[in-house]
Amino acid sequence: MTYKKIFSHYLKDKPNTYLIHLWTDDGNYQKIEWKNIAYVECEPNEATHYGLKGEPLKKVRDWDKENPNLHFHDMVAHQKFLIEQYGTNDEPSTNHREVFFDIEIEMGGALTPEYIQQAPKPVPLLPGMINSLMNGAF
């Protein structure tokens, strides 16, 4: 599920519902109306899921955030959507590039908190590298 371009906004006229904007690897753009479900503690015989501490849980679609027995209700909507959509899929995206670079600067003295706070030495390559990345040179 690495690197997904996504945006969400709350639909005021529908409780716990978001409009998800998702750009997929194949270049498609999707708008998905998504209901943000939560999980509430329940009796063990009703459980469909279990909490991080082993609590029996069941899904609820209409929930109140003030309920102290809710689980997984306070996640950011787009993050929760991605987890529900892709789970533990760790297949890399096909339309992203990863760029790694090492920044080296001249050391002028001991790495004390004061010296680090002052940051007296310039990093001359960083602006050029950022400009090259933005212009697609890599």
Q: Are residues 82 and 104 in the same domain?
A: no
C-alpha gyration radius of the chain: 23
What's the pLDDT score for residue 1? 46
Model confidence at 13, in pLDDT bands (50, 70, 90)? very high
Same domain, 28 and 79: yes
Give the pair of three-digit tokens for residue 128. Answer: 């050029």
Q: Is residue 120 part of a domain?
A: yes
Say if 92 falls within a structural domain: no
Question: What amino acid is encoded at 50 in this protein?
Answer: Y
Between CA 91 and CA 105 the distance in angstroms is 35
Residues 82 and 105 occupy one common structural domain: no
Task: Quote the CA–CA distance of 113 and 57 in Å, as a whole number.
Answer: 48
Q: Does 113 reside within a domain?
A: yes
Number of domains in the chain: 2
pLDDT of 54 strictly over 70: yes
* pLDDT the model gives residue 69: 93
Secondary structure (DSSP) of 5-45:
EEEEEE-TTSTTEEEEEEE-TTS-EEEEEEE--EEEE--GG
Distance of CA 105 to the CA centre of its chain: 32
In a domain, 91, yes or no: no
Pick 74 or 110 by higher pLDDT.
Answer: 74
Mean pLDDT across 86-97 = 75
Rounded to whole angstroms, the Cα distance separating 91 from 2 reads 7
In a domain, 53, yes or no: yes
Of residues 127 and 95, which shows the higher confidence score?
A: 95
Q: Do 16 and 54 lie in a common domain?
A: yes
| Higher-scoring residue by pLDDT: 12, 138 | 12
* Shared domain check, 71 and 120: no
- Measured CA to CA, the distance from residue 97 to residue 95 in angstroms comes to 7
**Residue 71 domain-assigned (yes or no):** yes
**Among candidate residues 43, 66, 86, the one where a domain is terminated:** 86
CA separation for the pair 105, 115 (Å, rounded): 14
pLDDT cut 90: percent of the chain above it: 38
Print the domain residue range for 105.
97-138
Q: What does the pLDDT look like over 20-33, one tens digit per residue?
A: 999 887 778 999 99
- Structure tokens, 9: 């906004």
> Does residue 127 belong to any structural domain of this protein?
yes
